[in-house]
Amino acid sequence: MKMSKNPSPILVTQPFLPPLEEFQVYLKDIWDSKWITNNGKFHQDLEKALCEYLGVKYISLFSNGTLALVTALQELRITGEVITTPYSFVATTHSLWWNNIKPVFVDIEPNTFNIDPEKIEAAITPKTTAILPVHVYGNPCNVDRIKEIADTYGLKVIYDACHTFGVDIKGIPVLNYGDLSVMSFHATKVYNTFEGGAIVCHDKATKDRIDNLKNFGFVNGQVVSPGINAKMNEVQAAMGLLQLKYIDGIIENRKKIAELYREKLNGIDGLSYMDDMDHVKHCYSYFPIVISKAIYGKSRDEVYEELVKQNIFARKYFHPLISQFATYRGLESSQPGKMPIAERITEEILCLPIYPDLEEEIILKICNSFKNRFV
């Protein structure tokens, strides 16, 4: 296939959108019923369908993942300090700040980029009430070790699972670990409802409380808690139901792209990438590489700019660290030198384009550029 003279930009990701005519069937139903929010038919159907697909007991849909994080902390009545990772999207830590909780950052593992469990214990104080880890790029955290630490110190665990749609460990859905797991269905994710999110929990009583909190705190017409408006609407839910028809193919395509990248980038000195983890079913939400300037000869930033010249827009994800943003730089745990692995990775990470319709020609072009060191 020939490249056009003025090709569209190749972005790091692109949302999957089902055939418009299929979506219009759902829209007609919404128009006919005039029920567009407040726990409508599609909302209820999607919760049931997601529970079945994801292998979880209870799920509560949200208008976006950030409000789901904020509400999860409210549901568990988390206060004081929470140990978390600096290597994530800012929403993870913003959810703590909005709940008047102090984030305490610790370093990450060098291979998974997830929070390092061995750094957690040293950060625990009498004010610590919970751990907020992130399954970075969909790679599961060391859930067993985190549970052991949480049980020992009486801490809650809320997983930011926004990258882990359909991921499991030895056949167990990763969403079933921790007290709660929070998902995002943003347009950039493997599975999207335009915007959207969810909280996964393990019992009906917890789901009921979460459902009340996301609907202003109403119970039988009375406000019993200071809730918020975080409900998913029917248009989002309809998109979610339609996306489920295609999700297996979406993930399979992403897997093929990841495998092709690995094949073509293998053996290039100064570049490293993540292989699939043992006993883990992945969803291939991102394809990150680490670029060592000392070995490769070009820095991550130089490589980024070279790709831009080719109309290819990779992403420095995550850069900077959350702890390096002005909002959080003043925290004691944010001080330079405290998290050497995270501080190195954020300067060397680059996520390459990956989405179901990404053409093989583009992947080969990117990989050949790397092989030739953009000369």
pLDDT in tens, 34-48: 999 999 999 999 999
Report the alpha-carbon distance of residue 68 to residue 49 in Å, rounded.
Answer: 19
User: Of the residues 220, 244, 268, which one is the last residue of a structural domain?
Assistant: 244
User: Of the residues 244, 273, 301, which one is the last residue of a structural domain?
Assistant: 244
Same structural domain, 156 and 68: yes
pLDDT in tens, 182-226: 999 999 999 999 999 999 999 999 999 999 999 999 999 999 999
Question: How many separate domains does the chain show?
Answer: 2
Same structural domain, 143 and 89: yes
Determine, yes or no, domain membership for 15.
no
Same structural domain, 261 and 333: yes
Report the alpha-carbon distance of residue 236 to residue 42 in Å, rounded.
Answer: 9
pLDDT value for 7: 75
Determine, yes or no, domain membership for 12.
no
Determine, yes or no, domain membership for 130.
yes
Domain that holds residue 257: 248-371
Same structural domain, 257 and 329: yes
Determine, yes or no, domain membership for 8.
no
Q: Are 344 and 319 in contact (CB under 8 A)?
A: no
**CATH number of the domain where residue 274 is located:** 3.90.1150.10
pLDDT value for 2: 39
Same structural domain, 32 and 168: yes
Q: What is the pLDDT confidence band of residue 6, given thresholds at 50, 70 and 90?
A: low
pLDDT value for 3: 42
Determine, yes or no, domain membership for 49.
yes
pTM across the whole model: 0.97
Determine, yes or no, domain membership for 13.
no
Identity of the amino acid at 110: P
Q: What is the pLDDT confidence band of residue 4, given thresholds at 50, 70 and 90?
A: very low
Q: What is the pLDDT confidence band of residue 73, given thresholds at 50, 70 and 90?
A: very high
pLDDT over threshold 80, residue 5: no
Same structural domain, 347 and 226: no
Same structural domain, 203 and 263: no
Same structural domain, 86 and 126: yes
Closest CA to 161 of 169, 152, 170: 169
Q: Are 352 and 289 in contact (CB under 8 A)?
A: yes
**CATH number of the domain where residue 185 is located:** 3.40.640.10
Same structural domain, 322 and 222: no
